[in-house]
Amino acid sequence: LAVALTHLGHDAIHVTDAGLAGRPDNEIMDLARREGRVVVSADTDFGELLATTHATTPSVVLFRGQPHDVDNLVQLIVGLLPEIEADLHAGAVVVIGRDRARVRRLPIGG
């Protein structure tokens, strides 16, 4: 997904390329926060981490119930960017499901 987004002109990096493969989620979140990145994942632990810490960054995009077909995921996220970009800049969790996307501004549960 990171490679496909990069080819489309987005500044994307995979956790492996950042040297964080297999590292705890909080380390990935720390890197995203420091570099002003958005975490894109199917792992709901990132949303839970934001909720338990009441953090305001980084933004997270979660894919729920989606096939892990890269082309499908790229189409979904790129197609939604005009709608969600301001939320991502402000700090949000965006959950992209089969039939809709939900946006929740950060902090969660604070």
What residue type is assigned to position 62 of the chain? L
pLDDT at res. 59: 98
Edge-to-edge strand order for the sheet containing 39-41? 39-41, 60-63, 92-96, 101-105
Q: How confident is the model at residue 98 (pLDDT cuts 50, 70, 90)?
A: confident
What residue type is assigned to position 25 of the chain? D
pTM confidence score: 0.93
* C-alpha span between 103 and 6 (Å, rounded): 24
Query: For the chain, where are the E strands, in sequence order?
Result: 39-41, 60-63, 92-96, 101-105
pLDDT at res. 110: 61
Query: Average pLDDT of 37-53?
Result: 94
Q: Is-contact 75 109, C-beta < 8 A? A: no
Q: Is-contact 42 79, C-beta < 8 A? A: no
In sequence order, what are the residues at sequence separation of 6 or more whose Cβ sits closer than 8 angstroms to the Cβ of residue 74?
A: 1, 4, 5, 8
